[in-house]
């Protein structure tokens, strides 16, 4: 009887793990789809030296944020991210600050790369 309960508990943990990760993977896939329209197609137009290339840096930033959030959610899962964003001690606050700084550093770094590429191709 106890073995059956342990089996159900581990199955529940496995399903929760999969549900947390699948939400992150879904966000990651949506962001990847958005990246095609907001980053890749304008970049291809710029490389072909088209004059009518349209892009929005705000949409690019949102796409990158969605991609980073989906990646973090699929790697860490919702439960671990909730622990990170709900700190109860000084270590929790430190982890949250480090995670946020890293997240923003990646975002601003990728936006700087985008800006550099756009300026180099003459569309800035």
The domain limits of the chain are 2-120
What is the residue-averaged pLDDT of the chain? 84
- What is the model's pLDDT at position 94? 81
Q: How far apart, in whole angstroms, are the C-alpha atoms of residue 85 and residue 117?
A: 34
Residue-wise pLDDT for 15-27, tens only, equals 777 777 888 899 9
Question: Is-contact 98 87, C-beta < 8 A?
Answer: no
Q: How far apart, in whole angstroms, are the C-alpha atoms of residue 112 and residue 114?
A: 5
Residue-wise pLDDT for 68-116, tens only, equals 989 988 888 777 776 766 656 777 778 788 888 999 999 999 999 999 9
- What is the model's pLDDT at position 45? 94
pTM of the model: 0.77
Show the tokens assigned to 18: 């999969």
In the block, residue with structure tokens 């949102």: 62
């Amino acid at each position: 009887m106890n073995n059956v309960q342990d089996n159900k508990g581990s199955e529940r943990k496995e399903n929760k793990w999969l549900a947390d990760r699948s939400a992150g993977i879904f966000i990651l896939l949506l962001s990847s789809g958005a990246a095609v329209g907001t980053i890749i197609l304008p970049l291809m137009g710029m490389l072909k030296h088209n004059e009518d290339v349209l892009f929005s840096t705000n949409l690019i930033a949102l796409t990158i944020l969605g991609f980073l959030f989906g990646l973090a959610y699929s790697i860490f899962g919702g439960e671990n991210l909730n622990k990170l964003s709900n700190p109860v001690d000084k270590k929790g606050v430190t982890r949250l600050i480090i995670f946020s700084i890293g997240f923003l550093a990646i975002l601003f770094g990728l936006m700087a790369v985008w800006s550099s590429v756009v300026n180099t191709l003459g569309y800035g």
